Amino acid sequence: GRISDAAMTHPLLESIANASDLIADFYESREFAKAVRQIMELADLVNAYVDENKPWELAKDPQGAAKLHEVCSVILESFRRLSLYLKPVLPNLVGQVEEFLSIPPMQWHDISNSLKSNSAIQPYRHLMTRVEHAQVDALLELNR
C-alpha cells in the first residue's frame, strides 16, 4: 500500500507531534512511567479516531475508497509516531516497525518527518503477541 500525502496534515498527527517535547522531558528525567502514560493517552486518541471512522466499514463501500485511504494513512502515520516515542523503551519492537514501514531507523527529530506516498508499506504481519492474564497466572503458579 501507499500513504496519502494529503492525510499527513491531519490534526490528530499534529497532536501526536506536539507531545514530543513533553515525552522527551519525561525520558530525560528518567520518568519512564510518565512517558509511557503520555504515549498511551495519545494511543487512546488514535483508537477514538479509528472507532469514529470505522475503516472496516469504509472498506465495504466502493465509494468510500478515498476516505479509507485517508483514514488508513492517518492510522499508519500515528502508528509510526507512537512507535518512535516508544523506541527508547522498546527498541527491538520499533526496529520491526521500521522494517514493516520500509523506513530507516528513526531518531527523535523524525517525529515531524511523515511517511510519504512513495513509501512502500510491507504486507501485514504480527509484531508481537498479546499476553493474557491466564498466561501470567500460569507462569506465576509454576514459579511457586
Q: Which domain holds residue 91?
A: 5-142
CB contact at 8 A, 126 and 108 = no
* pLDDT tens readout for residues 48-81: 999 999 999 999 999 999 999 999 999 999 999 9
Taking alpha carbons only, the member of 81, 84, 102, 104 closest to residue 94 is 84
pLDDT exceeds cutoff 80 at 139: no
Triad 84, 90, 94: Cα angle to 5°: 50
Average pLDDT on 82-90 reads 97
- Three-state DSSP class for residue 37: helix
Number of structural domains in the chain: 1
* pLDDT tens readout for residues 8-51: 999 999 999 999 999 999 999 999 999 999 999 999 999 999 99
pTM reported for the whole predicted model: 0.86
Give the model's pLDDT for residue 10. 96
* CATH number of the domain encompassing residue 138: 1.10.730.10
Place of cell 514530543: 20
Give the model's pLDDT for residue 129. 67
pLDDT band at 117; cut points 50, 70, 90: confident
Give the model's pLDDT for residue 54. 96
- Three-state DSSP class for residue 18: helix
Q: How many CA atoms lie within 13 A of 124 on its CB side?
A: 1
